[in-house]
Amino acid sequence: MRAVQRPTLTMALSRHDRALLVEAAGTFMFFSIGAGAIVTNAMTSGAIGVLGIAFAHGLALAVAVSAFGSISGGHFNPAVTLGVAIAGRHPRERILTYWGAQLVGALVAGIFLRLAFEPFPAAVDATHLGTPTVATGLPLVTAILIEGVLTIFLLWAVFGTAVSPSAPKIAGFGIGLTVAADILIGGPLTGAAMNPARWFGPAVAAGFFDNWSVYWIGPLLGAALAGLSYRFLFRETV
């Protein structure tokens, strides 16, 4: 007689449920390390620098995409979810659920950073827990343009290394390097968020909402344009 297999939590979860869990987990991991590096840089009087901050974000994202990409696609970014959906490679009815999971993961990361760096209020106040900010004197429209263009670069990397059927097996590496490279140019200007959730989590935890529109309009608009470029110009017609 065959033994009856008892249901487990993993069995009870649908594929979509597991995708949402890893989107939240990967976002939490990515932002805790990336935004945390910014606060640590303030604590150490700039010892990490822009290069260190860029690599903290890039390496964290590379690992998160490599670890969870096979389950959820490894978006960890509402802009990526939107762009991939516009390109026809993600179900549109799952855009909002992915966004919800990413924002939850971002908020948990912000709360974690608040607790971790609470003994160091000067660094917290100086960085707003790693919330992206617009450089003094940079026009708002220019900041939106920068975030949009950097997000296009990120989405092109996603399409070329993870979405395309002929993509080389370097998704995490290629996407992480693109984020690091974008931060090297855009970090001092806008923080190079390229990701509404990257702004949302630390901003809510820090109570700092300046220039919020830059980090929603720029990345989402850039992602939409990148998605259209892939769908109508770059995608293989096979």
Render pLDDT for 12-58 as a digit per residue (tens, 0 to 9): 789 999 999 999 999 999 999 999 999 999 999 999 999 999 999 99
Average pLDDT, the chain: 94
Is the model's pLDDT at 8 over the cut of 70? no
Q: Which residue's structure tokens are 């389950």?
A: 71
Please name each of the domains of the chain with its CATH number.
14-233 (1.20.1080.10)
Q: Check residue 237 and give its pLDDT.
A: 60
Is the model's pLDDT at 238 over the cut of 70? no
Determine the distance from the C-alpha atom of residue 97 to the mean position of all C-alpha atoms in its chain, rounded to a whole number: 16
Task: Report residue 234's pLDDT band, with 50, 70 and 90 as the boundaries.
Answer: confident
Task: Report residue 1's pLDDT band, with 50, 70 and 90 as the boundaries.
Answer: very low
What digits encode the pLDDT tens for the residues 77-118?
Answer: 999 999 999 999 999 999 999 999 999 999 999 999 999 999
Q: Per the structure block, which two tokens stand in for 75?
A: 């978006």
Q: Check residue 9 and give its pLDDT.
A: 54
Is residue 35 a contact partner of residue 51, using CB atoms and an 8 Å limit? no
Is residue 64 a contact partner of residue 76, using CB atoms and an 8 Å limit? yes
CA distance 74 to 81: 9
Is the model's pLDDT at 138 over the cut of 70? yes
Is the model's pLDDT at 11 over the cut of 80? no
DSSP type of residue 36:
H
Question: What percent of the chain is predicted at pLDDT more than 90?
Answer: 88
Q: Check residue 171 and give its pLDDT.
A: 79
Is residue 106 a contact partner of residue 132, using CB atoms and an 8 Å limit? no
CA distance 9 to 71: 16
Residues in CB range of 138: below 8 A, 6 or more apart: 189, 190
CA-to-CA separations, 179 to 34, 57, 153, in angstroms, rounded: 11, 7, 9
Is the model's pLDDT at 74 over the cut of 70? yes
Task: Report residue 180's pLDDT band, with 50, 70 and 90 as the boundaries.
Answer: very high
